Amino acid sequence: MYQIMTAGPTQVRENVRMARSQMCTNPDLDKAFFDFYKETCALLSKAMHTENRALILGGEGILGLEAACASLTEPGDRVLVIDNGIFGRGFGDFVKIYQGQPVLYTTDYHNPVDLAALEAYLEKDHDFKYATVVHCDTPSGVLNDVEAISCLLDRYGILTVADSVAGMFGEPLDLSRSKIDILCGGSQKALSAPPGLTMLWVSDRAFQVMEQRKTPIASFYANILAFKNYYEDFFFPYTMPISDINGLRVALENYLADTTVYERHRVIAAACRKALTAGGIKLYLDSGWSNTVTVLEVPQGITDAQLLHGMEDDYGIMISGCFDVLAGKVVRIGHMGENAYPEKVADTLAALQGTLEKLGVPVACDMRAVFLSTLEQ
């Protein structure tokens, strides 16, 4: 078994694994399960500081992104797709599948969205039903200020769909300070439950927009509206994955009990960047580093595969490569959720250093030592 220091899925704590092996009732028929689901959703709302209704859907994080687009998009709708990363751009595909017209707002992938520039763009064109934006765009690790972006979009009458699958629970996010209409999360990133669940936080006005559609939602599984009255109607559109939800509940309780979670992520991420930079490794981003993941460029003269396989074979530590336009160019250390502990990141940096040196790439310091001494400051 590798120690997974990937950008998600992340490591899973023992109490979460145990919760998934509890006896199960029939989640379609047992009122106790409906109460448990509802309470778990209320905890999710609390975690994001909102009264907006939270929902848990059976399906990996991508399902939430698709469900948001499926449920809001009607044929011909113009949708602003904020593209400063690979997941950001990817929203355009979902908009197209549901016959909307994606309009890409593309900026460079090395920096977060600049609010003033976005505002200047909206001044000229703001005829959009909704916009999509990513909080932490994991392939580059860039962190966008989705709270402020959603407030800006709201001033132009545009709804916001935000993907915080790889941000939330590692980066602070306060829905009460935002105008995010559909927030998307997943179980397998900073919450550190296994993959399998999507979480959505849906505003009242997003439900209204879905109810006022002229055309029906062109999906069954990705229809958010079908969940709206599950409790009153005592009916889920499909059978809920009860064991996954038992695990999610304990992961959520772990998170809520952890009063230093954001500070831990912040300090570890900063020390990790400092150690890499001191070692002469180039970070991909110029600014806007998320505290959940660090993305570094593959040094000249070696390949990502050599680096990844070397770390796996010699140290048993797995980090992430990348895909799409960043394939082969960068590798990623995921230090979110259960991965965000000093020893784990220190071991990862030592493994990275040993592998680089074995491949003939010099490293200018002891990165493990720099990391640990930075943490103590």
Ligand X SMILES: *Cc1c(COP(=O)(O)O)cnc(C)c1O
Distance CA 277, CA 272 (A): 9
Work out how close the CB of 269 gets to ligand X at its nearest, in angstroms, rounded to a whole number. 16
Of the pair 134, 191, the CB lying nearest ligand X is at 134
Helix, strand or coil, per DSSP, at residue 268: helix
Q: How far is the CB of 64 from ligand X (least distance, A)?
A: 8
Q: Which is nearer to ligand X, 198 or 355 (CB)?
A: 198
For residue 299, the SS3 value is coil
| Contacting residue, 6, 10, 132, 138, with ligand X by CB under 6 A | 138
Q: Which is nearer to ligand X, 100 or 334 (CB)?
A: 334
Q: How far is the CB of 116 from ligand X (least distance, A)?
A: 24
Strand (E) or helix (H) holding 137 = strand 136-137
Tokens 């979110």 -> residue = 336
Question: By beta-carbon distance, which residue lies closest to ligand X?
Answer: 61
- Cβ-in-10-Å burial (0-12, 13-18, 19+) of 234 comes to exposed
As given in the structure block, the two tokens for residue 257 are 């009990």
Q: For ligand X, how many residues bind (rule: CB under 6 A)?
A: 13
**Alpha-helix runs per DSSP H in 57-178:** 62-72, 86-97, 115-124, 146-155
Q: Rg (Cα) of the chain, in Å, rounded?
A: 21
Residue closer to ligand X (CB basis): 69 or 346 = 69
d(CA 136, CA 285): 12
CB of 98 to ligand X, least distance (A): 18
State yes or no: residue 151 binds ligand X (CB under 6 A): no
Tell me how far, at minimum, the Cβ of 366 lies from ligand X, in Å.
31
Task: Compare residues 122 and 295 and give the one whose CB is closer to ligand X.
Answer: 295
Nearer to ligand X, 331 or 370 (CB): 331
Residues 163-202 interacting with ligand X (rule: CB under 6 A): 163, 165-166, 186, 189
**Least distance between ligand X and beta carbon 368 (Å):** 27
Q: Which residues ranging from 118 to 137 are in contact with ligand X (CB under 6 A)? A: 134, 137
Q: Nearest 5°: CA angle at 43, between 144 and 153?
A: 30
With H, G, I as helix, E, B as strand and everything else as coil, classify residue 353.
Answer: helix
Q: Which is nearer to ligand X, 161 or 272 (CB)?
A: 161
DSSP 199-260: EEEE-HHHHHHHHT-SS--S-STT-SGGGTTHHHHT--SS---HHHHHHHHHHHHHHHH-TT
Answer yes or no: are the C-beta atoms of 304 and 130 closer than 8 Å. no
- Site membership for ligand X, residue 112 (CB under 6 A): no
Q: What mask, x for binding ligand X by CB under 6 A, covers residues 58 to 77?
A: --xxx---------------
- Pick 9 or 27: Cβ nearer ligand X: 9
Q: Considering beta carbons, is residue 60 or 312 the nearer one to ligand X?
A: 60
87 sits near ligand X (criterion: CB under 6 A): yes
Residues 268-327 that bind ligand X (CB under 6 A): none
Stretch that binds ligand X, among 57-65, 92-100, 231-239, 280-288 (CB under 6 A): 57-65
> Is residue 58 within a helix (H) or strand (E), and if so which, with residue range?
strand 53-58
Q: Which residue reads 């545009």 in tokens?
A: 158
The nearest distance, CB 134 to ligand X, in angstroms, is 5
Q: Which residues form the interface with ligand X (CB under 6 A)?
A: 8, 60-62, 87, 134, 137-138, 163, 165-166, 186, 189
